[in-house]
Amino acid sequence: MNRQRPPKGIEWTRVKRVIDGTLVELPGYTWNPTGGCLHGCTWKMPDGSVTECYAKTVAERLASSAYSQGFEHHYWRPHALKEPLQLKEPAGIFVGSMADLFGHWVPAEQIREVMDVMEQAHWHTFQTLSKYPVRLVEFNPFPANVWVGVSLPAGHLMKLEGGARALKAYLRHMEQIEASIRFMSIEPLWFDVASVFADWLQSHERLPFEWVIIGAASSGRSIFQPKADWVQSLLDIFDAQQLPVFFKGNLKWHKWRGDFPQNASIRLQEPQLWPLQSLKTALAG
Ligand code: SF4
């Protein structure tokens, strides 16, 4: 596991939780019992350049035995499975910073082994993040100490309408996830996401997540800020919904938000599986 030390690293792994009445910042880690990813995400930047996934860049830079067959390959690392159990101090642990644990190519038995370790290591707070939410319901209910995240669809080969359609499909799948905390990572914020959430709220009482991360687009050292009205519209919706918001360090905004969900109670509901075809149809758009 890799410690995410401030000011660098993935800041939202350093979860703040109320423990015995006191707000405590937990040390943050990444943990990669699987590696590699076949989603092939790329984003078109506002200057016209196209950037690829940061994990792919890092993996190829490492060019080590850890990614001997490239990044777009599935690696299973059973030797890393017990690492969280060996860490006795409570921590926030992002599972799969170099992978999508719930990618369609990952054998279910491997995911279940990872889930078993997360459940055994109940003193940690685990965060998973996927761009394939259709598969998450297969693993309901998630252990109480696992926060289940879904990322905004990537912006490659997709027109804005396609991104909005895919996000709507993502929300329908998120609604079916049984987890104490579901979260949405809106990074990079590359289109007017707020309008999708506003549409959703026309027919639903609430958004299907309990925490939100918002970030800017980055390509190497270049950072591209989202339109201010996109951010403001999102904040208006999240504030009305009383959803905690966490800003990535690359987002410029006043006033700063770095909030975490505090009431992680198990939320169980009758599972209604959305067919895989609904997501494929949306993505094809
Ligand atoms: S899902 Fe995540 S790890 Fe996979 S290619 Fe996309 S950004 Fe990279």
Model confidence over 220-233: pLDDT tens digits?
788 899 999 999 99
Question: pLDDT at residue 81 above 90?
Answer: yes
Sign of CA dihedral 27, 91, 1, 152: negative
How far is the centre of ligand 1, averaged over its atoms, from the C-alpha of 37 (Å)? 6
Kindly report the protein residue whose alpha carbon is nearest to atom 6 of ligand 1.
41
How far is the centre of ligand 1, averaged over its atoms, from the C-alpha of 92 (Å)? 21
Per-residue pLDDT reduced to its tens digit, 145-183? 999 999 998 876 556 667 788 899 999 999 999 999 999
Give the C-alpha separation, 1 to 28, whole Å. 10
Q: What is the pLDDT of residue 93?
A: 97
Give the C-alpha separation, 147 to 181, whole Å. 5
Q: What is the pLDDT of residue 126?
A: 97
Q: Which atom of ligand 1 is nearest to the CA of 96?
A: 3
Q: Which of 38, 41, 67, 97, when mutated, tests ligand 1's pocket best, judged by the most ligand atoms within 8 Å of its CB?
A: 41
Q: Which atom of ligand 1 is nearest to the CA of 129?
A: 2
CA-based nearest residue to 110, from 58, 52, 33: 33
CB distance 266 to 181 below 8 Å: no
Kindly report the protein residue whose alpha carbon is nearest to atom 7 of ligand 1.
53
**Cβ < 6 Å from ligand 1: which residues?**
37, 39-41, 53, 55-56, 100, 131, 154
Question: pLDDT at residue 271 above 70?
Answer: no
The pair of three-digit structure tokens given for residue 162, joined into one six-digit string: 């396609």
Kindly report the protein residue whose alpha carbon is nearest to atom 3 of ligand 1.
99
Kindly report the protein residue whose alpha carbon is nearest to atom 4 of ligand 1.
37
Question: pLDDT at residue 273 above 50?
Answer: no
Note the pTM of the prediction, 2 decimals.
0.89
How far is the centre of ligand 1, averaged over its atoms, from the C-alpha of 74 (Å)? 12
Per-residue pLDDT reduced to its tens digit, 89-148? 999 999 999 999 999 999 999 999 999 999 999 999 999 999 999 999 999 999 999 999
How far is the centre of ligand 1, averaged over its atoms, from the C-alpha of 18 (Å)? 31
Q: Which atom of ligand 1 is nearest to the CA of 56?
A: 8
Q: Give every CB contact of residue 144 below 8 A, 6+ residues apart in sequence.
A: 122, 180, 264, 266
